[in-house]
Every structure is written in structure tokens, then in C-alpha cells.
Amino acid sequence: MSSVLLELNDLRVSYGKVEAVRGIHLRLEEGQIITVIGANGAGKTTLLSAAAGLLPSGGRASYRGQDLLRMTVEDRVEQGFCLVPEQRALFGDMPVIDNLLLGAFVRRRDKAFVRKSLDSVFEQFPRLAERQTQLAQTLSGGERQMLAIGRALMAQPRLLLLDEPSLGLAPTIVRDVLMRVRALRDQGVSILLVEQNARAALDVADYAYVMDTGEFVLEGPASGMAADPRVVATYLGGGVE
């Protein structure tokens, strides 16, 4: 029996007077990959930022039985709850290696832990090992994405939130990135994946939610969802055969 890691109940996010995300119910069990898909502007990134604590939100949310909304972003990170944001948020003027070492900031005193994490990240992303002295801002789009994920993995998180890992990447790299996501799950990391590239996301996820204008409009096991005409409709408009 797996246990519930993350649970959102009626989560709401407002920008000023406008409620951008409302009535979100989501359950993520340990060892699962959950994906939230939907067209651009549906509120996926807002939802993820709020879950990570970067935006204030209302409603209820729990993580490993604790009240998530009372925790700061940093508290969440200390508890193994890490976000890889859409803009990557790398330290551009610092070398790759420092970006990675800072990823393990909350465990910085445990040198053995940091070393092990670094070895493991380099093993998964050999390209980062090659470029470790290069400044982050000089990396290509794909490498930046690897670095962003690698940095989050340095803390050996329990739950990883990935926001549009395929953004701006060529199709072959997208496949590669999502294969790595699946590999992470096999190592015991639970994943909440937000993706616009629906087919790719559904391919790796266990369970999926479809978001449209701030709300979940559809949910179910990922396997059946790719063929669902309603999913196609949220992307390309109604009337698609």
C-alpha cells in the first residue's frame, strides 16, 4: 500500500482580484508520476508555483501529513519538496558545478551526501560533468534544462515538481528528458509533471489531470487519456475528428 504524499483540497490562487486557479483537488501517492496537462494559459504554471510556495494560495494542502500552506518555500525544500520552474531560475553568472553544489544547500554540511549526489547527477547527465566549469548562462537550452533538473536532484528530493521540462527543446531531447523522468521515479522520486506536450507527458505518467482556464476539467489514468477526443479538443479547439 503506498501512502499519500501530496494532497490539494480546493486550492485557489488569486492575482489581485482575479482568481487564476480555483477548486483544485489533487492526490499524489508515493512513487507516482502525476501529470497536469492543458493548453497554454490554463493556469498550470500558476498551480505549480503556488504548490511550491512561490505564490500565496487559499484552500487546503498537505504534504506528508503536514499543513503545506504554513510552510515557506525553503521549509518545503528542506522536506524534500523541490520545484524545477519553467524559467529554470539558474544562477547564470556562476559555473555549472556551483549551481549543482547549491542544489544541495540544505544538506551542505553532509559532505558525503553532497559528493554522492553530485556523482549520481553526473552519472545521469554526463554532459553536465563535461561542462562543470562553464557558466550556466552559456549553456544551450537543453543543457540548461538538464542543469535545472540536476540542481533539484542534488537535494535528493522526495517529490519533484517539473514545470514544462520540454519547453523549447527539440523533439528528440524531449523524449530523452521524459525517459529520465521515468528513471527518476524508478529511483523512488515521486513526480508532479506539468506539460504542454500532452502525448509525451501521458506516456510517462500514471495519472493525469487536464486543466482548462484555471480548473481541472478531466482526470483519469494516463494510459487511456491520450486517445480521448476531449483532450485533443482542449488543445486544438472543438470539432477535431
Partner 1 sequence: MSLDIILILLVDGLSTGAIYLLAGLGFVLVFSVTRVIFIPSGDIAAFAALTLAAFQGRTVPGSIWLVAAMAGLACLAECSTLLRNGATRRIPRALLLYGVLPLIPCGIGLAIARQDVPEVLRILTTMALILPMGVLIDRLMLRPLAASSTLILFIVAIAAHYLIAGIGLIAFGPEGVRTTPILDGIISLSDSVVIPAQQLLMMIVALLLSLVFYLFFGRSMTGKALRATASNRVGARLVGIRPERAATMAYLIASGLAAIVGILIAPVTTMYYDSGFMIGLKASVGAIIGGMASYPITAIGSVFVGVLESWASFLASDYKEIIIFSAVIPVLIWRSFSVHRDGDEEIEEFA
Partner 2 sequence: MISARLLSLIVVVVLLALPVVGSPFLVTLMSHVGVSSLVVLGLVLLTGIGGMMSFGQAAFVGIAAYTTGWLTTALGWSPWLGLVFALALTAVSALAIGAITLRLGGHFLPLSTIAWGLSIYYLFGNLEPLGRHSGLLNIPPITLGPVSFMSQIAMYYLIWVVVLLATLFSLNLLDSREGRALRLLRGGAHLMGSVGMDTFGTRLRVFLIAGIFSGLAGWLYAHMTRFISPAPFDVKISIEYLLMAMTGGASQVAGATVGSGLIVLIKNWLQDFLPHLTDNPAQLEQVAFALMLLLILRFAAGGFMPMVLKRVRSTPRTVKANVGGLPTRQLPPRGEPVLEVEAVERRFGGLIAVNKVSFDVRAGEIVGLIGPNGAGKSTMFNLITGTLAVSSGTVRFLGKDASRLSQREIARLGCARTFQHVKLRPGMTLLDNVVSGTYLRTGAGYIKGGLRLDRLEEERARHEALLRLGQVGLADRAHDLAGDLPLGQQRVLEIARALALDPVLLILDEPAAGLRKKEKDALATLLRKLRQDGLTILIVEHDMDFVMNLVDRIVVMVFGQKLREGDPATIRKDPAVQEAYLGGLA
The item of partner 1, partner 2, none sharing an interface with residue 66, based on CB under 5 to 8 Å by kind, is: none
Tell me how many residues contact partner 1 (CB under 8 A). Answer: 31
- With binding defined as CB under 8 A, does residue 170 bind partner 2? yes
Element (H, E) at 130: helix 126-130
Tell me if residue 58 falls in helix, strand or coil: strand
- With binding defined as CB under 8 A, does residue 213 bind partner 2? yes
Residue in 4, 69, 101, 233 binding partner 1, rule: CB under 8 A: 101
* C-alpha cell read off for 50: 503556488
* Least Cβ distance, residue 179 to partner 2 (angstroms): 10
Residue 157 sits at φ, ψ, to 5 deg, of: -70, 160
Using the CB atoms, write b or e for 170-197: b if 16+ within 10 Å.
eeebbeebbebbeebbeeebbbbbbbbb
Sign of CA dihedral 1, 66, 152, 49: positive
What's the rounded Cα separation, in Å, for the pair 19 and 139?
A: 37
- With binding defined as CB under 8 A, does residue 44 bind partner 1? no
The item of partner 1, partner 2, none sharing an interface with residue 98, based on CB under 5 to 8 Å by kind, is: partner 1
Residues near partner 1 (CB under 8 A) are 52, 54, 70, 72-74, 77-78, 82-83, 85, 87-94, 98, 101-106, 108, 151-152, 154-155
Residues near partner 2 (CB under 8 A) are 15-18, 39-41, 137-138, 140-141, 164, 166-168, 170-171, 174-175, 178, 196-203, 213, 226, 232, 235-238, 240
